Amino acid sequence: MRVLGVDPGTVATGWGVVEEVDRRLTYVAGGVIRARGPLAQRLARVYEQTQQILSNFAPTCVSLEKTFVGDNVQSAFRLGEARGAILVAAAQAGVAVQEYSPAEIKVAVAGNGRAAKEQMQLMVRRLLGLAKAVASDEADALGAAICHLHTHTFTAQVSNQRSRPKGRRQLVPSPSGDCRFSPAGALRDAARRRRLLRASGSAVVFKRQFPLTLRRSLLLGPSRRVWFPFSPSPSGRGAG
For residue 165, report the phi and psi dihedrals to the nearest 5 degrees.
-65, 140
Tell me the C-alpha distance between 115 and 25, whole Å: 21
Secondary structure of residue 71 in the 3-state scheme = coil
The amino acid sitting at 83 is R
Is 71 an annotated catalytic residue?
no
- Name the catalytic one among 65, 104, 140, 189: 65
User: What is the residue-wise DSSP string for 74-117?
Assistant: HHHHHHHHHHHHHHHHHHHHT-EEEEE-HHHHHHHHHS-TT--H
Secondary structure of residue 46 in the 3-state scheme = helix
Is 137 an annotated catalytic residue?
yes
- Name the catalytic one among 19, 20, 104, 137: 137
- Name the catalytic one among 7, 19, 138, 140: 7
For residue 62, report the phi and psi dihedrals to the nearest 5 degrees.
-115, 125
Is 65 an annotated catalytic residue?
yes
Q: Are strands 96-100 and 61-65 parallel, antiparallel or unpaired?
A: parallel
Q: Are 217 and 203 in contact (CB under 8 A)?
A: no
Catalytic residues: 7, 65, 137
